[in-house]
Structure 1
Amino acid sequence: MDNVIAALPLVFDPFTLMVIMACALFGLFIGAVPGLSATMATAMLVPITFYMAPVPAIGAIVTMSAMAIFASDIPTALIRIPGTAASAAYVDDLYKLSQRGKAGLGLGLCVITSAIGGVFGTLVLMIAAPQLAEVSLNFTSFEYFWLALLGLSAAVMLGTGSVVKSVMSLCLGLLVASVGLDGSSGFPRFTYGQESLLSGVSFVPALIGFFAVPEIIRAIVHRDKQEEAKSISRISELFDGLGKTLWKFRLNLARGSVLGTLIGILPGAGSDIAAWITYAVSKKFSKNPEKFGTGYEEGLVDSGAANNSALSGAYVPAMVFGIPGDSITAIVIGVLYVKGLNPGPMVFINNAVEVNAIFMVFMLANLLMVPLGILAIVLAAPVLKISKTALAPLILGFAIVGSFSIDISITSIIIMIVVGCFAYLMEENDIPVAPAVLGLVMGTLVERNLITSLIKGDNNPLVFFERPIAGVLGVMTLALWFAPLIIKIYRKSRRSEVTS
């Protein structure tokens, strides 16, 4: 308690509060512009943090990233272009809510669930960081392989069409993920002599292509069939039916917060994978799985809570062992070392006051998300009044700038256009895009951990089941694959017995 009291002046210092507020607004802007990522913004903030004390320096990054993750839901709802891969998990539900005149409810759910998930993740970070970090250290390549496969298995559940079309879409995403240098031999794959493809297909241009380009093409091709979306005319619309919906899906809110935190704690996972997995789990256990992707609120509650709880969870291994939970915490670890807050178990003893101050900044950032998030939604609402045809050139401009800024290369723009044309053809033929995005996100993770595990086990497949956690995850994954087939065969045999 003495450390907490001593940390209060560090947090509520006027300069620290000014930095937090400025970075909160910066994060909202970054998240709301498709193509600009929280990781990119974090890298931009690092030089500025060198001139700050430890608490405002870390607080700047924490606040900005939390706001950016939420703000990416705004373009998802208004123009169907997710700002991050996490928002892509529930893009159809959020956008179709807007088309039905419920943009206020959808974005209201996003801001409240993000804040609740972030607060939950922060409480876990404060109370159980060392214990949970020890568990995450037990994850090796074997566990990560099964976890990634479990995530890929969700592709079938994410697809709104047939299983065959979902698998086709997933295979396309895995194919795109395989472009670049082979992780084990260093041999170039599918690069066709282009040096810019040696590092693989950049994720952000591909993500923009999957969602922005089809919308631009659709706005031009189907401009006579567009329905005018209903805009948000008053702030109260954000709360119309919000309490009732949150109470209805209160268990989903708790489940999303817990799953998001646990997945965020795993090094390398992050909020993107957390959102996809929690959305798939939500659909799997829902009483109305057929409504997912049609503007249903249940998946939004799960994934919205998982987004920011995973962001807080990623700081558990970062603070305790110096192991990055995601790309943002990888940058933060460097800032911690520069500021003399060397990550490790002793940081909670040697720098107890500063660590408690950082925890308070986490809490403050998630609480600020509600008023500032509502302000951002209201300011962005007029976008709904503009027709898609008129917005198309502006969207295309943002898409080109966002893609080009990743590698400062024309190749990124070409990737965006090619992927976008494929995505448009897929959607026109009722092939879901979500499994392809998931394949692109997790393809490299699956391949890297598969090769590493096979090298460790001298090509013996049984080693994938020898470790306790890996064995449990492996059985769960295989059960998810074969249980529907076994149940179908069993029911068929039962019916034949009854008829005979």
Structure 2
Amino acid sequence: MDLMAILSAVADPLIITTVLACTLYGALVGAMPGLTATMAVALLVPFTYFMDPVQAVAAIVATTTTAIFAGDISGALLKMPGTPASAAYVEDSYALAQNGQPRTTLFVSLFASVVGGVIGVLMLSLASPQLARLATSFSSDEAFWLATLGLSCAVFVGGSSVPRNFASLFIGLAVATVGIDVAVGHPRYTFGLDELYDGISFIPAMIGLFALSELLRNAATGTETRLGRLTVEPIAQALRNAAAEIRRRWASVLRSGTGGTVIGALPGAGADVAAWISYALSRRFSRTPEKFGKGHLEGIVDGGAANNAAVAGAWTPALVFGIPGDSVTAIAIGVLLMKGLTPGPDIFTSDATLVYTLFGAFLLANVLMVITGGLAIAMATQLLRVPRSVLMPLVLMLSMIGGYAIMGSTMAIWIILVLGVVGYAMARAGIPLAPAILGIVLGQVVEDNFMVSMMKAQGDITQFFERDAAAVLGVITLVVWGVLLVRAVLDMFGPRRARGRKET
């Protein structure tokens, strides 16, 4: 490894300019409701045709890193998370913004994302071969248990009522069953519509459940939206408060950054699962779990650090074995192949300079994100000055455009409308929305891996415990779900027993 060559490549003015421009681009795209990091990278691909491999990879890395963070901006200001990762802690960020701390909340998220991203880069560069071996040793058995364990996060993060959390989760899982049955190839719940054969994309679903339902709630109140009456603290004060919060919770940042990197290295996990799991663990082991979901910075710190660390972690299997860790690295692999580079074990010897330059670009992108992310926060909070009569139709239009761009079909608009009404009804019934989103994201992963394992084992369910890693994950998952079911029963019958005792 030629250290001077790597430093020279990263310090190239063209690379620095590219990273700076793409971090700003990623921040602007990610901050728009419905426009994701994957979409930002996909729109960038045509421009990579005119770039050399190092510049192309640097552009993708910079765009992804900032777009993942920027999803927090629309979540905090509008309760419309830009990415599923941001949805993990949107209730907290929105509540804090409503309480007069929108900039403090977003700067906490920004700083946690930057530190988490740096941790991810360092772990990626030092331990990528080991993490890749761990990730690729997972069969469908381990993947099934891991995804099922991830679903338990939905029940942990949804709120205090376990039965309502389960209800929300099952609504999400029901949405995830739409499409072609993986085992027999038969369409389910498609109502004869070809557009639903591929299932319901989680981006339009998330837009409907969060964005449109929030618009409906605003319209139903008939009063001036709270957005226009938010108190926005000065930037200097927000910076001081955010820096103090990160210093106070440095151990949480380190823990979630490390955990997010490892989770991101697992194929198919990515930033979304990392953020949900880190937020759930943060709530589980917090001294004040009752504050989560009501405006608590602890969950934002953990979730923000984990999702950006996972961005780096997802490159581990992509680089070492050519297995995409998420949708963004799948696009990146295509770009590398287009440039004549084949990701795999040999890339660390044949193109070592490129690989370590990528690590340098990652590090540079996270550092520059402090500047571009700060600019995005300052510009986004100007939304508060827009009248409700202008802002709400504009948000609705952006939401519809974002959903349509993902699916390329008007079916996306119908999905947004239907799930928006469902989300509004859930909110009226006191059923949290976050578990439903995780059910939609992980539902197909659980089903696909379950069916693959069952077909391999010819229906013998004990095969799920044959491998050591699968057995450990399986036992942990069953114990967690057993505890949750007991809590659900106690929640349903505990108050009734208490009333009975009072009457007697």
Alignment TM-score, normalising by the size of structure 1: 0.94
Q: Spell out, residue by residue over 1:412-461, the C-alpha distance to the aligned partner (whole angstroms, 9 max, x if none).
A: 10100100111011111111111111100100000000000111111111
Partner of 1:178: 177
Q: Spell out, residue by residue over 1:39-97, the C-alpha distance to the aligned partner (whole angstroms, 9 max, x if none).
A: 12212222221221111010000000111101111111111110001101111000000
Tell me how far 1:487 sits from its aligned partner. 9.6
Equivalents in 2 of 1:65, 1:484: separation in Å?
35
Q: Is the 8 A contact 1:98 1:106 kept in 2?
A: yes
Structure 1 residue 9 corresponds to structure 2 residue 8: yes
Equivalents in 1 of 2:389, 2:258: separation in Å?
41
The within-5 A match list for 1:399-438 is 399-438=399-438
Higher mean alpha-carbon deviation, 226-235 vs 214-223, is at 226-235
Tell me how far 1:325 sits from its aligned partner. 0.4
Equivalents in 1 of 2:333, 2:405: separation in Å?
24
Partner of 1:29: 28
Equivalents in 2 of 1:487, 1:197: separation in Å?
36
Partner of 2:450: 450
Partner of 1:138: 137
Partner of 2:299: 299
Equivalents in 2 of 1:232, 1:473: separation in Å?
45
Tell me how far 1:407 sits from its aligned partner. 2.1
Aligned length: 489
Equivalents in 1 of 2:411, 2:468: separation in Å?
44
- CA gap of 1:483–1:164, structure 2 versus 1, over 3 A, is closer
Equivalents in 2 of 1:247, 1:233: separation in Å?
20
Equivalents in 2 of 1:340, 1:455: separation in Å?
37
Tell me how far 1:29 sits from its aligned partner. 1.3
Q: Is the 8 A contact 1:3 1:356 kept in 2?
A: no
Which one-letter code corresponds to 1:322 in the other structure? G
Partner of 2:123: 124
SS across alignment from 2:223: helix
Tell me how far 1:390 sits from its aligned partner. 4.0
Equivalents in 2 of 1:38, 1:278: separation in Å?
20
Runs of 5+ in structure 2 lacking a partner? 490-504
Equivalents in 2 of 1:289, 1:214: separation in Å?
26
Which one-letter code corresponds to 1:416 in the other structure? I
Tell me how far 1:231 sits from its aligned partner. 4.2
Tell me how far 1:131 sits from its aligned partner. 1.3
Higher mean alpha-carbon deviation, 323-332 vs 217-226, is at 217-226
Equivalents in 2 of 1:329, 1:145: separation in Å?
22
Tell me how far 1:328 sits from its aligned partner. 0.6
Structure 1 residue 279 corresponds to structure 2 residue 282: no
Q: Is the 8 A contact 1:4 1:357 kept in 2?
A: no
Partner of 1:54: 53
Which one-letter code corresponds to 2:61 in the other structure? V
Equivalents in 1 of 2:373, 2:486: separation in Å?
47
Equivalents in 2 of 1:50, 1:39: separation in Å?
18
Partner of 1:495: none
Higher mean alpha-carbon deviation, 394-403 vs 233-242, is at 233-242
Q: Is the 8 A contact 2:283 2:292 kept in 1?
A: yes
Equivalents in 2 of 1:286, 1:42: separation in Å?
36
Higher mean alpha-carbon deviation, 352-361 vs 114-123, is at 352-361
SS across alignment from 1:224: coil
Q: Percent identity at matched positions?
A: 46
Equivalents in 2 of 1:266, 1:393: separation in Å?
40
Partner of 2:493: none
Q: Spell out, residue by residue over 1:1-46, the C-alpha distance to the aligned partner (whole angstroms, 9 max, x if none).
A: x612112222222222222222112111110111111112212222
Higher mean alpha-carbon deviation, 121-130 vs 352-361, is at 352-361
Partner of 2:152: 153
Partner of 1:396: 396
The within-5 A match list for 1:21-420 is 21-224=20-223, 226-227=225-226, 228-232=228-232, 234-420=234-420
Equivalents in 2 of 1:217, 1:60: separation in Å?
38
Tell me how far 1:399 sits from its aligned partner. 1.1
Partner of 2:492: none
Which one-letter code corresponds to 1:477 in the other structure? T
Equivalents in 1 of 2:332, 2:158: separation in Å?
36
Equivalents in 2 of 1:42, 1:428: separation in Å?
37
Tell me how far 1:257 sits from its aligned partner. 0.5
Alignment TM-score, normalising by the size of structure 2: 0.94
Equivalents in 2 of 1:454, 1:247: separation in Å?
48
Tell me how far 1:240 sits from its aligned partner. 3.5
- CA gap of 1:485–1:448, structure 2 versus 1, over 3 A, is closer
SS across alignment from 1:51: coil
Partner of 2:500: none
Equivalents in 2 of 1:342, 1:355: separation in Å?
12
SS across alignment from 1:72: helix
Partner of 1:20: 19
Runs of 5+ in structure 1 lacking a partner? 490-500
SS across alignment from 2:80: coil
Tell me how far 1:157 sits from its aligned partner. 0.9
SS across alignment from 1:136: helix
Q: Spell out, residue by residue over 1:144-182, the C-alpha distance to the aligned partner (whole angstroms, 9 max, x if none).
A: 100011011122111214211111111110000000111
Equivalents in 1 of 2:129, 2:103: separation in Å?
39
Higher mean alpha-carbon deviation, 243-252 vs 315-324, is at 243-252
Partner of 1:496: none
Partner of 1:492: none
Partner of 1:494: none
Partner of 1:497: none
- CA gap of 1:182–1:244, structure 2 versus 1, over 3 A, is same
Equivalents in 2 of 1:207, 1:34: separation in Å?
10
Q: Spell out, residue by residue over 1:105-132, the C-alpha distance to the aligned partner (whole angstroms, 9 max, x if none).
A: 2101110000001000000111111111
Higher mean alpha-carbon deviation, 130-139 vs 245-254, is at 245-254
Higher mean alpha-carbon deviation, 336-345 vs 313-322, is at 336-345
Q: Is the 8 A contact 2:34 2:403 kept in 1?
A: yes
Partner of 1:471: 471
Equivalents in 1 of 2:424, 2:466: separation in Å?
44
- CA gap of 1:93–1:389, structure 2 versus 1, over 3 A, is farther
Which one-letter code corresponds to 1:93 in the other structure? D
SS across alignment from 2:2: helix
- RMSD between aligned alpha carbons? 1.8
